[in-house]
Amino acid sequence: MSIHYCEKCMSFFLQTPHTTYVCGIVNGKYLGHIYYGKKLQDQNLRHLMGVKADPAADNINHGDTGIFFDNFPFEYNFDGIGDFRECALDVHTSDGHHGALCEYRSHKIFKGKPKLQDLPATFCNNENECETLEIELFDPVISMTLILSYTVFSDVDAICRHVRVKNEGSRPIFLDCVMSAHLYLPEDSYDVITLHGSWGRERGICRRELPYGISRAYSKRGVSSHQAHPFIAVTSRNASQTSGEVYAMNLVYSGNFIAQTDGLVNDDVIAQIGINPEGFCWKLEYGETFTAPEAVLVYSGEGLGQMTRTFHDLYRNHLIRGKYKDRKRPVLLNHWEATYFDFNTEKLLDIARSASRCGIEMLVMDDGWFGNRFDDHRALGDWVVNEEKLPGGLKYLVSEVNKLGMKFGIWFEPEMVCPDSDLFRAHPDWAIQVPNRENTTLRWQYVLDITRPEVLEYVWASVRAVLKSANIEYVKWDMNRALCNIGSKDLPADRIGEFFHRYVLAVYELQGRLVTEFPNLLLENCSSGGGRFDPGMLYFSPQIWCSDDTDAIERLKIQEGTALIYPLSSIGAHVSVCPNHLTGRSVPFETRGHIAMFGTFGYELDITKLSEEDLQMIPKQVEMYHAYNDLVREGDYYRLASYAENHGFDSYMVVSKDRSKALLTMVAVAYRINHRAYKIRLQGLDPNARYYIPAMECHLTGDALMDAGIFVPTPWAGGDYRSFVWTIERDD
Ligand code: DGJ
């Protein structure tokens, strides 16, 4: 890892363990992108910007700058000055003029990584682990400073970028678009990958040929959303799990975003990620700075699998925090699918008693414990225990659960208020709303305007009081609707474009307070399943509920798309009942356990109603979880076959960092009659080491397992939805 500035070629070299990123200065002022890819030695690469090797020879013809501005591979480009491609920065003045042209002013290179103001971001665990480059650019016409920040790490091939804009002029300026990363890629045949879905079908992998013009994933829902994801990967056309080039970007942010490519007519490509400019406008007064969220860039020259493992390592080591960062999480049982709103203390204790007998370690009480919350039509905001359901309150229930040797967790949806609630009746103006327009309910609820200090303080005080009232060791923080009818009492007209971002900052403020005041708490974020599963939330909670679709077969696709970027340790996954409540599908209990095991693992069912056969399987699954979770949490993840890609079966493995142990999972989804065997080529093993697979009673070298593969006889499967998890151990 290193960052170096070459005076002679006026270029910056950023080196990660296996990748290089280069940008340079042209005409003494324009910052251009030069190279991102496999590791190269520091050398003069200025010809890649279409200019001479010697900066003294730079001669941009100022009689005709337009040709230059619209063609130059800007490191970060500007709207309004004759660059007609998708621009990274769009700003207007109080006179209404758009445009900026920021020129190189200075730079600094230093050890460590500064925090981002009010925003979650990756961090280094000690100063020597990373190095940061900050390039300062300046627009003299509007007195605006732009700082482009880049951090490289010693242990992971990622580059974390962010941008700060400062108004140094006497009059306000308005930011209409500030991308967090802008990447200029040279002509090639590319595909583009984004993640899309809906409620219950999050993060499906969507791959297509990169088109001319714009290809965009976006959210304008106020959350990162079920429908799209703050991620984009540009890959070489033939890129697979194990080969080909991948340029990926992920935004450490939980609100509106765009992730897009602009396929240019000269066949080059621009890739960008940042806050969605639609509905965004940030007013900067003199001396004020705006910090855009962090973008993570990953290059892999060895296909998508390597990209995945880089993101996993980065997030496990440099984003996820707190007590449970590197720890096994308690096996929990959440009663949501067991009872929905229909529960009371006795019912919960019945469940807890059976659960504790099976080795389950925590009971999570979901929605319905407060106010008049007998269904989802009412009471959000009234965070007072409903003693009709829970006589003796939380104190009694929690102490009874604790007596069983179990921990206790609780559900909240702090950002919301129902029109039918005491809170709304007392403070109707606390909901986000546009005056005189009938407010839109979604799931019978409004969103609280937590950008207002008094509302934020109410929310914080409510959550805090409940958590202080009993021995609560886990919180599921839910968020079940998108934001619309944007209006806020405190924001003047020229600041209403700040609302969405201010909302996200308020969520971060609340969650920051939560993890600071309750450092032992296990926080699990959730948003109608996985509607806010993003790196921003991972900074606060080591795990996020992945989807309300708990059907194990559907989960194969959802968890595959999620694990494309996020570590298995972060993926909330539970065993639920069959027929599944959403899909009606029945899958063997064993298979449900195998699939949940490659996430956080837990149960979401009425354990008191299980068949004896299923019940008896729980202690075995819990034992398996304890045996394998260290490997699942810490190991390298390899995708071997994908049901989502129509392979008819799903297979993946996790290999320990020292390559001495591995777990191989296979799920037969559509059983193939008269088919000799499923062939699986393993990955990630040491080719020269010998391994033992107890289930096959065979000893083979890593190269044989990876190059020749193994044949799993189809009759073994015994029908659709059968699965196995096999251990593989080094034995030389
Ligand atoms: C949506 C969540 O995803 C579910 O798990 C559950 O907590 C419900 N909300 C409760 O309303």
**Over 80: is that where the pLDDT of 143 sits?**
yes
Q: Residue 196 in contact with residue 206, Cβ under 8 Å?
A: yes
- Mean pLDDT for 164-168 is 98
Q: How far is CA 338 from CA 313, 348, 355, 530, 579, in A?
A: 35, 10, 13, 20, 13
**Could you give the count of Cα atoms lying within 13 Å of 652 in the half-sphere of its Cβ?**
27
* pLDDT single digits (tens) 585-599: 999 999 999 999 999
Ligand 1 centre from 652 Cα, in Å? 28
* pLDDT single digits (tens) 669-706: 887 777 777 889 999 999 999 999 999 999 999 999 99
Annotated domain spans of the chain: 78-318, 332-632, 640-730
- Mean pLDDT for 365-369 is 98
The pLDDT value recorded for residue 672 is 73
Q: Output the residue whose Cα is nearest ligand 1's atom 2.
A: 528
Q: Residue 492 in contact with residue 298, Cβ under 8 Å?
A: no
How many helices (H) and strands (E) the chain has is answered by 14, 39
**Over 90: is that where the pLDDT of 469 sits?**
yes
Nearest ligand 1 atom, CA 336:
6
- Mean pLDDT for 319-346 is 98
Question: CA 409, CA 429: separation in Å to the nearest integer?
Answer: 32
**Is residue 652 within a helix (H) or strand (E), and if so which, with residue range?**
strand 649-655
Nearest ligand 1 atom, CA 334:
5
**Over 60: is that where the pLDDT of 147 sits?**
yes
Nearest ligand 1 atom, CA 366:
7
- Mean pLDDT for 452-473 is 98
Ligand 1 centre from 278 Cα, in Å? 29
Q: Output the residue whose Cα is nearest ligand 1's atom 9.
A: 528
Ligand 1 centre from 414 Cα, in Å? 13
* Joined tokens for residue 302: 């060895």
Question: CA 338, CA 576: separation in Å to the nearest integer?
Answer: 9
pLDDT classification of 64: cutoffs 50, 70, 90 = confident
The pLDDT value recorded for residue 729 is 98
332-632 maps to which CATH number?
3.20.20.70
* pLDDT single digits (tens) 419-430: 999 999 999 999
- Mean pLDDT for 547-569 is 98
**Over 60: is that where the pLDDT of 717 sits?**
no
Q: Which residues are catalytic?
A: 478, 548
Q: Output the residue whose Cα is nearest ligand 1's atom 11.
A: 367
Domains 78-318 and 640-730 alike in fold: no
**Over 70: is that where the pLDDT of 166 sits?**
yes
Ligand 1 centre from 528 Cα, in Å? 6
Q: What are phi and psi of 465, to 5 degrees?
A: -65, -45
Question: CA 717, CA 639: separation in Å to the nearest integer?
Answer: 20
% of the chain at pLDDT higher than 90: 94
Ligand 1 centre from 332 Cα, in Å? 15
Q: How far is CA 412 from CA 55, 380, 658, in A?
A: 59, 9, 40
The pLDDT value recorded for residue 59 is 86
Q: Residue 23 in contact with residue 181, Cβ under 8 Å?
A: no
Question: CA 408, CA 472: separation in Å to the nearest integer?
Answer: 5
CATH class of 640-730: mainly beta
Ligand 1 centre from 545 Cα, in Å? 9
Nearest ligand 1 atom, CA 545:
3
* pLDDT single digits (tens) 377-410: 999 999 999 999 999 999 999 999 999 999 999 9
- Mean pLDDT for 629-654 is 93
Q: Can you name the residues that pair with 4 across neighbouring β-strands? A: 13
The pLDDT value recorded for residue 604 is 98
pLDDT classification of 716: cutoffs 50, 70, 90 = low
CATH class of 78-318: mainly beta
Q: Can you name the residues that pair with 300 across neighbouring β-strands? A: 246
Q: Residue 24 in contact with residue 49, Cβ under 8 Å?
A: yes
The pLDDT value recorded for residue 715 is 53
* pLDDT single digits (tens) 508-546: 999 999 999 999 999 999 999 999 999 999 999 999 999
Question: CA 210, CA 706: separation in Å to the nearest integer?
Answer: 31
Question: CA 655, CA 683: separation in Å to the nearest integer?
Answer: 9
% of the chain at pLDDT higher than 70: 99
**Over 90: is that where the pLDDT of 103 sits?**
yes
3-state secondary structure of 462: helix
pLDDT classification of 493: cutoffs 50, 70, 90 = very high
* Joined tokens for residue 384: 């007072």
Nearest ligand 1 atom, CA 548:
3
Ligand 1 centre from 289 Cα, in Å? 38
- Mean pLDDT for 311-329 is 98
Q: Using most ligand atoms within 8 A of CB, pick from 364, 411, 413, 533 the residue to mutate for ligand 1.
A: 411
**Over 70: is that where the pLDDT of 198 sits?**
yes
* pLDDT single digits (tens) 174-184: 999 999 999 99
- E strand spans, 464-570: 474-477, 522-525, 543-545
- E strand spans, 478-554: 522-525, 543-545
- Whether the model clears a pTM of 0.95, i.e. scores above it, the answer is yes
**Over 90: is that where the pLDDT of 1 sits?**
no
State the amino acid at position 48 in one-letter form.
L
Q: Which residues of 481-518 are buried (b: 16+ CB within 10 A; e: fewer)?
A: bbbeebbbeebeeeebbbbbbbbbbbbbebbeebbeeb
**Over 80: is that where the pLDDT of 225 sits?**
yes
Q: What are phi and psi of 483, to 5 degrees?
A: -100, 135
Burial (CB < 10 A; 0-12, 13-18, 19+), residue 654, is buried
Q: Which residue has the tokens 């200019």?
A: 51
The pLDDT value recorded for residue 60 is 82
Q: Residue 449 in contact with residue 488, Cβ under 8 Å?
A: yes
Nearest ligand 1 atom, CA 529:
3
Angle at 515 between CA 362 and CA 474, to 5 degrees: 10
Question: CA 610, CA 350: separation in Å to the nearest integer?
Answer: 13
**Over 80: is that where the pLDDT of 447 sits?**
yes
State the chain's mean pLDDT as an integer.
96
Ligand 1 centre from 225 Cα, in Å? 15
Ligand 1 binding pocket, CB closer than 6 Å:
336, 366-367, 376, 411, 478, 480, 526, 528-529, 545, 548
Q: ω into residue 579 within 30 of 0, thus cis?
A: yes
The pLDDT value recorded for residue 656 is 98
Q: Using most ligand atoms within 8 A of CB, pick from 370, 374, 478 the residue to mutate for ligand 1.
A: 478
